[in-house]
Amino acid sequence: MFSAIKNTYKKSEAAVVVQKLLEQVISQFPDMHWRTGEPAAEVANVYVGALFTARPDMVNGHYGVRPHKVTFAAASIACGLVMTQNSEQLAKFQQATYAALCIILGHTQSAGSLYKFNSVDSSLLEYASAVLGDFSEQASSTPLAGQLAGIGLMD
């Protein structure tokens, strides 16, 4: 019973981080292709839920520790970025998701020493970084690269 409560709490923590990042991106870059009909909270919950479904062992304490909300959020955003590539319904969130992933991974690199990340956190950050690298490589040869460079997220 307590495990389910902890899972819900940790998912909620991560979803709030994802939501705030998406809202920050949307407010900073109003030309971002985001359809206003879908609140960031709903998208955040989809991303967090997808990571929890895909890798419950990494986020449910299976290895004796649970991830920090920042790394849980980063991996959820990465999972969401993969989802935007494979789902027509989520494709409209691709730019905002990419921007949010850049921001959170930049934060973990610059301020990571302030957190006490564990081995699960490290694995989640590796996953998120790999997804970002793959996406950046793929996006560099598409029209999206020009749009992302225009907002300072891609060279």
Read off the pLDDT of residues 59-97 as tens digits, 9 standing for 90 and up. Answer: 998 889 999 999 999 999 999 999 988 888 777 788 889
Reported as a single tens digit per residue, the pLDDT across 103-138 is: 999 999 999 889 989 999 999 999 999 999 999 887
Q: How confident is the model at residue 153 (pLDDT cuts 50, 70, 90)?
A: low
| DSSP, residue by residue, 80-115 | HHHHHHH-TTTGGGHHHHHHHHHHHHHHHHHHGGGS
**Residue 45: its pLDDT value, please?**
96
Query: Can you give the pTM of this predicted structure?
Result: 0.87
Q: Quickly list H helices, the chain.
A: 2-28, 40-54, 56-59, 69-86, 94-111, 119-139, 143-150
**Residue 133: its pLDDT value, please?**
93
